[in-house]
Amino acid sequence: MNKAFNLENIRKDFPILDQEINGSPLAYFDNAASTQKPKAVIDAIKNYYEQDHSNVHRGVHTLSVRATELYEESRTKIAKFINANTSNEVVFTRGTTESINVLASTLSGLIKQGDEILISTMEHHSNIVPWQELCIRTGAILKIIPINKLGELQLDSLEKLLGKKTKIISVTHISNTLGTINPIKKIIELAHLYNAYVVIDGAQAIAHTPIDVQDLDCDFYTFSGHKLYGPTGIGVLYGKENLLNKLPPYQFGGEMILKVTFENTSYNSLPYKFEAGTPNIAGSIGLAAAIDYLNSLPLNLCHQYEMEIHDYALDQLKSFSNIRLIGESHKKSPIISFIANDIHPHDVGTILNQKGVAVRTGHHCTMPLMEFFNISGTIRASFSFYNTKNEVKQLIGGLGIAFKMLS
Partner 1 sequence: MNVLLLKSVKEIELEISQEFEIFDSWMDRYEYIIDLGRQLSSFPDEWKIEENKVQGCQSQVWFKTELKNNLFVCQAISDSAIVSGLIALLLRIYNQKDPSDIVATNPTFVSVIGLDEHLSPTRNNGLNVMLQKIKNDARNMVLDQQLKTKLN
Site mask for partner 1 (CB under 8 A), range 383-402, x = bound: ------------------x-
Helices (H), 254-327: 281-296, 299-317
Pairing state between β 116-120 and 141-145: parallel
Smallest gap, in angstroms, from Cβ of residue 320 to partner 1? 17
Answer for which of 346, 389, 390, 400 binds partner 1 (CB under 8 A) is 346
The residue from 135, 218, 302, 365 that is catalytic is 365
End-to-end CA distance of the chain: 52
Smallest gap, in angstroms, from Cβ of residue 260 to partner 1? 44
For the question of residue 365 being annotated catalytic, the response is: yes
Check binding of 350 to partner 1 (CB under 8 A).
Answer: yes
- The rounded distance, in Å, linking the Cα atoms of 82 and 391 is 31
Judged by CB under 8 A, the stretch of 127-135, 146-154, 186-194, 354-362 that binds partner 1 is: 354-362
Contact indicator for 199, 103 with CB cutoff of 8 Å: yes
Beta carbon nearer to partner 1, 190 or 343: 343
CA within 13 Å, CB half, 33:
14
* Count of residues engaged in binding partner 1, rule: CB under 8 A: 16
Smallest gap, in angstroms, from Cβ of residue 347 to partner 1? 5
Beta carbon nearer to partner 1, 243 or 401: 401
Judged by CB under 8 A, the stretch of 11-19, 149-157, 274-282, 350-358 that binds partner 1 is: 350-358
Phi, psi of 86 (to 5 degrees): -150, 155
Picking from 171, 168, 170, the residue whose alpha carbon sits closest to that of residue 181 is: 171
Smallest gap, in angstroms, from Cβ of residue 342 to partner 1? 9
Beta carbon nearer to partner 1, 267 or 320: 320
- The rounded distance, in Å, linking the Cα atoms of 284 and 63 is 16
Answer for which of 22, 62, 251, 269 binds partner 1 (CB under 8 A) is 22
Helices (H), 17-115: 39-47, 62-81, 96-106
Check binding of 203 to partner 1 (CB under 8 A).
Answer: no
DSSP tag of 347? H
Answer for which of 343, 357, 369, 399 binds partner 1 (CB under 8 A) is 343
Check binding of 324 to partner 1 (CB under 8 A).
Answer: no
Beta carbon nearer to partner 1, 284 or 361: 361
Which residues 6+ apart lie within 8 Å of 371 measured at CB? Answer: none
Q: CA triplet 251, 204, 129: central angle to 5 degrees? A: 45
Check binding of 405 to partner 1 (CB under 8 A).
Answer: yes
- The rounded distance, in Å, linking the Cα atoms of 185 and 171 is 11
Judged by CB under 8 A, the stretch of 190-198, 218-226, 295-303, 341-349 that binds partner 1 is: 341-349
Q: CA triplet 246, 143, 237: central angle to 5 degrees? A: 35
Contact indicator for 100, 151 with CB cutoff of 8 Å: no
Binding region for partner 1 (CB under 8 A): 22, 343-344, 346-347, 350-351, 353-354, 361-362, 376-377, 401, 405-406
